[in-house]
Amino acid sequence: MLIAPPGTLKSTLIRLALENYPDALLLSDMNVSTLNTLKNSLLDQRYVTLGFGEFEKLYQRNPATAINIESHVKALIEEGFSRASFEDQRIPGMTARCAVIGGITPSLFSRKFTAWQENGFARRFLFCSYTLANPEAIMESISAWKAISFGKVSAQIPVPKKIPYNITHDENAALKKSIMTQPDRETPFVIVKKLFCVLKWRYNAHKAMEIYQDFSECLQSKGAFLQI
């Protein structure tokens, strides 16, 4: 979850990160019926990642309905989504799983934090807090009528589709330390270890740690400044 104030490019960052991957789907909103329709595409791994530029939209409906959707999203990430709430739960069926990325505001995070801690939602995410170091850059780009450049994100898929786990003792200790202020630590620790394995596969060990340490500032309680 990217936690940042409105107008700080959360949706843009998520879109840019996912748009080159055909197995990632960017959603503006979702309900249980939509998720049920998507289930087969998740089961056969047509989609392995769902992105929500504005995750808060899921809560802009009847509270009971929003909680139901939240519980299904929570299931998707770990134990798996098998049946919609309106279906007979006794029917056998396979479970669908995927990664979920979302953008939320600090105010939503504050409102939901206690409930997310109590119902296990918080333990399934990395919460990455940031704000813009130079927010005037957005106004400057509008004045110049020129899009802000974020560089190029190119998709790279390992062949075969398996990235080795090759984290050293010292790397493991650094990764563990980086998530100490997260709301929970078990699943976030799994996530950052996977992230780091990808970085080591893509770069060398030194470059991977350099990139990760830069990123990990947003995992701390004070958050990070994003320079654009």
For residue 108, count CB atoms less than 10 angstroms from its CB and return exposed for 0-12, middle for 13-18, buried for 19 or more.
Answer: middle
Q: Where are the domains of the chain?
A: 1-134, 156-222
Each of the 228 residues of the chain gets a pLDDT tens digit; together they read 999 999 999 999 999 999 989 999 999 888 888 888 898 899 999 999 999 999 999 999 888 888 988 998 998 998 888 766 655 555 656 788 999 999 999 999 999 999 999 999 999 999 999 999 999 999 999 999 998 888 877 788 887 778 999 999 999 999 999 999 999 999 999 999 999 999 999 999 999 999 999 999 999 999 999 998
User: Which CATH code fits 1-134?
Assistant: 3.40.50
Model-level pTM greater than 0.85?
A: yes
